[in-house]
């Protein structure tokens, strides 16, 4: 969303725990992990639909749209869970489908499989006419509209797609952690943005399909940077501050690269 449509969507901090809340509530109610995860993805897509309609039809700026949706989802998440958190200890999850492996390996294998499936589906989507229209809307919305593309529809599709994936991530984290909590989405925007920026700064001039993989690598590199910083006996209380400073430095490097390209051009 941020790189393709240039829309900073702040609703992620509400959609992430929404995915976890839907998954947890459904599993506790007796649903299978596959059904619960699917419902979490659908819930995220619906939240994206609401955000997209607010932004395109009510003409509210993207930043305010994200704040409104994030704020509203706080109450909805509590309503879905029925409390501030839900324990999933002893409940079946997707990792149990590959229980012939040690728990850590099963978690990594499942994560790798899901990431691979998502990347392949995204790549195939962007090769369709709708996907190309989606990219055109982000590159030049005026020209896209002049060529008959419904840019409002493309933005709504972008909101739905992005938030569906965010909710999927929330449901997977809930399964890995063994609980769903109302505050588990705090700071998730920083991690997502950092992954994109790291990929942009380190991996330049990369074709589209490999670029999708570089975003995943960017998330690992960002986490590695934070881990290295924490080796210097920094109080964990300052983790958010360290994350913000790290992201600021990455954004500065990214802007310097863009500035250099403009000067050369």
How much is the pLDDT for 41? Answer: 96
What the block records as the tokens of 178 is 């063994």
Tell me the per-residue pLDDT of 135-145, one tens digit each, with 9 for 90 and over: 888 888 888 88
H or E element: which one contains 67?
Answer: helix 62-81
Tell me the per-residue pLDDT of 34-44, one tens digit each, with 9 for 90 and over: 999 999 999 99
How much is the pLDDT for 138? Answer: 84
For 222-233, what is the mean pLDDT? 78
Under the banding of pLDDT at 50, 70 and 90, the label for residue 260 is low
Check: CB of residue 149 under 8 Å from CB of residue 136. yes
Q: Could you give the CA distance from residue 173 to residue 29 in angstroms, rounded to a whole number?
A: 19
Under the banding of pLDDT at 50, 70 and 90, the label for residue 33 is very high
Radius of gyration of the chain (CA): 19
Q: Which of 47-51, 193-197, 239-243, 257-261 is predicted most confidently?
A: 47-51
Neighbours of 21 (CB within 10 A): 30
Place of tokens 């599993």: 27
Evaluate the CA torsion angle 234, 240, 245, 247 in order and state its sign: positive
Check: CB of residue 77 under 8 Å from CB of residue 182. yes
């Amino acid at each position: 969303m941020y790189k393709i449509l240039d829309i900073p969507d702040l609703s992620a901090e509400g959609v992430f725990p929404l995915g976890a809340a839907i998954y947890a509530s459904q599993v506790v109610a007796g649903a299978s992990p596959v059904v619960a995860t699917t419902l979490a993805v659908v819930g995220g897509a619906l939240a994206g639909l609401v955000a997209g309609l607010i932004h395109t039809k009510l003409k509210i700026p993207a930043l305010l749209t994200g704040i409104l949706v994030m704020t509203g989802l706080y109450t909805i998440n509590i309503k879905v869970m029925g409390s501030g958190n839900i324990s999933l200890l002893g409940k079946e999850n997707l990792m149990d489908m590959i229980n012939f492996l040690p728990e850590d390996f099963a978690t990594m294998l499942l994560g790798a499989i899901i990431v691979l499936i998502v990347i392949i589906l995204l790549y195939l989507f962007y090769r369709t006419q709708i996907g190309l229209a989606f990219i055109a809307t982000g590159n030049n919305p005026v020209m896209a509209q002049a060529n008959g593309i419904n840019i409002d529809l493309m933005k709504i599709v972008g909101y739905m797609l992005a938030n569906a994936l965010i909710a999927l991530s929330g449901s997977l984290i809930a399964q890995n952690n063994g609980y769903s909590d109302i505050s588990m989405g705090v700071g998730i925007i920083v991690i997502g943005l950092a992954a994109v920026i790291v990929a942009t700064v380190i991996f330049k001039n990369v074709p589209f399909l490999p670029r999708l993989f570089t975003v995943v690598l960017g998330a690992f590199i960002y986490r590695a940077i934070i881990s290295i910083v924490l080796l210097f006996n920094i109080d964990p209380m300052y983790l958010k501050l360290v994350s913000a400073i790290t992201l600021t430095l990455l954004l500065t490097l990214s802007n310097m690269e863009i500035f250099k390209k403009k000067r050369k051009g």
